[in-house]
A and B are shown apart, each in its own frame.
Chain A
Amino acid sequence: MTKKQKKVFIRIIIAAVLIVVLHFVPVQGYLRFLLYLIPYMIIGYDILRKAALGIAHGEVFDENFLMAIATVGAMLLGVYNEAHGQEGEFAEGVAVMLFYQIGELFQAVAVGKSRRNISALMDIRPDYANVENEDGELEQVDPDEVEIGTVIVVQPGEKIPIDGVIVSGNSTLNTAALTGESVPREVREGQEVISGCVNLTGLLRVETTKEFGESTVSKILDLVENSSMKKSKSENFITKFARYYTPAVCYGALALAIVPSSINMVMGNPANWSTWVIRALTFLVISCPCALVISIPLSFFGGIGGASSCGILVKGSNYLEALAQTKYVVFDKTGTLTKGVFEVTKICPSTEFQNMICGKGYSPDQALLRYAAYAESYSNHPISKSLKEAYGGEIQKTSVTDVEEIGGHGVTALVEGERVAAGNAKLMKKLGLTYEENTGVGTVVYLAVDGIYAGYILISDVVKPEAKEAIAALKKAGVRKTVMLTGDSKAVAEYVSDELGLDEVKSELLPADKVNAVEQLLEEKGARENLAFVGDGVNDAPVLSRADIGVAMGALGSDAAIEAADIVLMDDNPRKLALAMQISRKCLRIVYENIVFALAVKAVCLLLGALGIAGMWLAIFADVGVMVLAVLNAIRCLKVKA
């Protein structure tokens, strides 16, 4: 509790004790009123002051006003009764104020607590950076003051404060705060590191490549902190609702106080002024809209906080809300559904080759890969890189001689005295060899050793392991159509699409065609359906902003993605989109629960209050009780089943 809250807490206790004591004090008449006035003023002076200030500034009809009118009215009614020789009821007015304050205090504490919880989830702000001074000692400085190109020292257990490149040291990094990924990442000298990661094991010296304000951690914090500024339709609805609702109930209460009594007077019956006035006051207490006004932003804030703890950054409540209605999901292929890196996916040695290397101690696959890697060892082409990576072993470049690159065909070289040719089908034809026509999708490297066709190696972009599951999960979550857009060839596109079970695929598209394709789909969909585009942020910024919801994969390293997208999946896992939809749905469900629950309880209580069935005590429940329940319900948004 803050100081302010503690003060209110003490006032509540004093007032509560006084009410109980006064109940047993045998005084009568106006003295009793004056005694009750003491706890009333203790507990309610700030509300009365705010109400008076509000009226003075022309800001009537807020909850302070409602509470002030209701309680002052109740107290005056007591005085009125005393004046007419009956015993006045003063405890009620004080109790209403007391419970209102208890409710407000609870709300402030609950909201403060969840706010801190959410901030803790996003607690990645580094407090300092270590810079070595001339004596070689470490000095802690404000990250804001570190210039680009400064070497900073990150000790184990510290957060990396600024993006940069490791100049010395190696370590493992915990990237959980940025990606939601719990497996630590290994880093070595020369690698880029991003701010917000926690250094786990070794000492790192990092040369900064960005200013603090431009570093990943600042951008992410900025994004999360501003997310609640973009308000959802539900929030706007409540704002508008409160604008008409509060005056409406005030006039309703006024009518309730005057009209029935007046009619009674006209009809010649006893007017019963005090009965109707107290009903009107009850009506006012019930009507307070706090439950809605506080619980709905809290729900969205909780949902956004819960999502960010899973590595899903949502830029605004409006996007979280829109996500629930996602019916069309359009994917970019490379980097989104596939890893975007080329890997050896198939090794196919020929029978002759298998006979040839029989008994040499290698498996045929390994031997073929070895020849390929050796032959391509001098090349830096992505294909040769993936060959070398797949081979994995050390390559003795000295045993490779006579390397000859044949443009558009491939390469021939002497590997340990054997003439190896590695290249495409044209190269095989040129060498006059018969070869197996490959049917797989991707790039094929054919190999010949000493004039004998040795087999082929297939290299292709690999589908992400989570991609298939992601598509299935989206379908299960109610997505009607999944579409893949790619600039790649038709064969590759269709292969990936079949593998993953996508509904539609559009291939061989230029970046501009992607925008057109998305626009076509936008026209096709219904008014209450949303289209989400998922891309890796490379070249698809226009599409990201054109779609109802732009989702960028992998905030790590792609600033453009963070800027253009509405939702950022921090790790490259497409499975997170379905999770984000789940969070969105849960959040909206809670919001609707609260709207319906609060309005229903209020409507029933208002009716009962107007009819005189419900008294002040029920009114207090309808106000404070509903608010407490709504806030507790809203806090559930924070919890996410991963």
Chain B
Amino acid sequence: MKKTYKIEVDCANCALKMEDAAKKTEGVQDAAVSFMTQKMKVEFAEGADISTVMQAVLKACKKVESDCEIFLD
């Protein structure tokens, strides 16, 4: 299960940090962040609850880059 989210992040390095943080979150199989298109693509692990996982991803990203935003809808 893959989903793409719109994000807001100011610098390329911060985008890399978000990607790292998202990858390490439990329930995430793989994640990719594109700074250029301001998008985050998340591949969820089998059986993971998307909304809980995304809350965790958002929290992890906020931790590494306080200014970032992920638009969950």
Chain A residues close to B by CB (< 8 Å): 4, 49-50, 53-54, 57, 59, 62-63, 104, 107-108, 111, 115, 118, 225-226, 228-231, 239, 242, 289-290, 293-294, 297-298, 301
Contact A229 B34 (CB under 8 A): yes
User: Which residue from chain B places its CB closest to the CB of A231 in the assembled complex?
Assistant: B32
Given contacts A242-B16, A290-B11, 6 further A-B contacts (CB under 8 A): A115-B36, A226-B4, A229-B32, A229-B34, A293-B13, A298-B36
Q: Tell me, in angstroms, the Cα distance from A359 to B49 when the chains sit together.
A: 85
Contact B64 A228 (CB under 8 A): no
Q: Is B48 an interface residue (CB 8 A)?
A: no
8 Å CB contact of A226 from B12, B13, B41, B63:
B41
Known: A53-B66, A229-B41. A290 touches B36 (CB 8 A): no
Q: Is B35 an interface residue (CB 8 A)?
A: yes
Which residues in B have their C-beta under 8 angstroms from that of A229?
Answer: 32-34, 39, 41
Q: Is B37 an interface residue (CB 8 A)?
A: yes
Contact B13 A297 (CB under 8 A): no
Q: Tell me, in angstroms, the Cα distance from A62 to B16 when the chains sit together.
A: 12
Contact A57 B13 (CB under 8 A): no
8 Å CB contact of B36 from A57, A59, A108, A228:
A228
- Tally of contact residues, B, Cβ under 8 A: 20
Contact B66 A50 (CB under 8 A): yes
Q: Tell me, in angstroms, the Cα distance from A528 to B16 when the chains sit together.
A: 28
Contact A293 B16 (CB under 8 A): yes
Which residues in A have their C-beta under 8 angstroms from that of B64?
Answer: 54, 57, 59
Which residues in B have their C-beta under 8 angstroms from that of A294?
Answer: 11-13
User: Which residue from chain A places its CB closest to the CB of B16 in the assembled complex?
Assistant: A239
Q: Which residues B33-53 have CB closer than 8 A to chain A?
A: 33-39, 41
Which residues in A have their C-beta under 8 angstroms from that of B26?
Answer: none
Which residues in B have their C-beta under 8 angstroms from that of A54?
Answer: 64
Contact B67 A242 (CB under 8 A): no
- A-B contacts, 21 of them at CB < 8 A, read A53-B66, A59-B17, A59-B63, A59-B64, A62-B17, A104-B11, A111-B12, A111-B35, A115-B36, A115-B37, A118-B36, A225-B4, A225-B37, A226-B41, A230-B32, A239-B16, A242-B16, A290-B13, A293-B11, A293-B16, A297-B35
Contact A108 B41 (CB under 8 A): no
Taking each of A54, A229, A297, which has the highest tally of chain B beta carbons within 10 Å of its own beta carbon? A229
Q: Tell me, in angstroms, the Cα distance from A564 to B70 when the chains sit together.
A: 30
**Pairs A-B, 3 closest by C-beta atoms:** A229-B32, A228-B34, A301-B36
Give min CB distance, B3 to chain A, whole Å: 12
Which residues in B have their C-beta under 8 angstroms from that of A59?
Answer: 17, 63-64
Chain B residues close to A by CB (< 8 Å): 4, 10-13, 16-17, 32-39, 41, 63-64, 66-67
Q: Tell me, in angstroms, the Cα distance from A253 to B16 when the chains sit together.
A: 24
Give min CB distance, B9 to chain A, whole Å: 11
Taking each of B10, B12, B63, B67, which has the highest tally of chain A beta carbons within 10 Å of its own beta carbon? B12
Which residues in B have their C-beta under 8 angstroms from that of A242?
Answer: 13, 16
Q: Tell me, in angstroms, the Cα distance from A401 to B37 when the chains sit together.
A: 66
Give min CB distance, B68 to chain A, whole Å: 11
Known: A57-B63, A297-B36. A62 touches B41 (CB 8 A): no
Q: Tell me, in angstroms, the Cα distance from A57 to B38 when the chains sit together.
A: 24
User: Which residue from chain A places its CB closest to the CB of B20 in the assembled complex?
Assistant: A239
Give min CB distance, A288 to chain B, whole Å: 10
Which residues in A have their C-beta under 8 angstroms from that of B67?
Answer: 50
Contact B36 A63 (CB under 8 A): no
Which residues in B have their C-beta under 8 angstroms from that of A225?
Answer: 4, 34, 37, 39
User: Which residue from chain B places its CB closest to the CB of A114 in the assembled complex?
Assistant: B36
Q: Tell me, in angstroms, the Cα distance from A218 to B33 when the chains sit together.
A: 20
Contact A293 B12 (CB under 8 A): yes
Q: Tell me, in angstroms, the Cα distance from A297 to B34 when the chains sit together.
A: 9
Give min CB distance, A245 to chain B, whole Å: 12
User: Which residue from chain B places its CB closest to the CB of A104 in the assembled complex?
Assistant: B11
Which residues in B have their C-beta under 8 angstroms from that of A230?
Answer: 32
Q: Tell me, in angstroms, the Cα distance from A231 to B35 when the chains sit together.
A: 12
Q: Tell me, in angstroms, the Cα distance from A293 to B39 when the chains sit together.
A: 17
Which residues in B have their C-beta under 8 angstroms from that of A108?
Answer: 10-11
Known: A57-B64, A229-B34. A297 touches B41 (CB 8 A): no
Which residues in A have their C-beta under 8 angstroms from that of B38?
Answer: 115
User: Which residue from chain B places its CB closest to the CB of A108 in the assembled complex?
Assistant: B10
Q: Tell me, in angstroms, the Cα distance from A225 to B12 when the chains sit together.
A: 17
User: Which residue from chain A places its CB closest to the CB of B31 in the assembled complex?
Assistant: A229
Which residues in A have their C-beta under 8 angstroms from that of B36?
Answer: 111, 115, 118, 228, 297-298, 301
User: Which residue from chain B places its CB closest to the CB of A246 in the assembled complex?
Assistant: B13
Known: A50-B66, A53-B66, A229-B32. A62 touches B37 (CB 8 A): no
Q: Tell me, in angstroms, the Cα distance from A228 to B32 when the chains sit together.
A: 9
Q: Tell me, in angstroms, the Cα distance from A228 to B7 when the chains sit together.
A: 14
Which residues in B have their C-beta under 8 angstroms from that of A62?
Answer: 13, 17
Which residues in A have their C-beta under 8 angstroms from that of B33?
Answer: 229
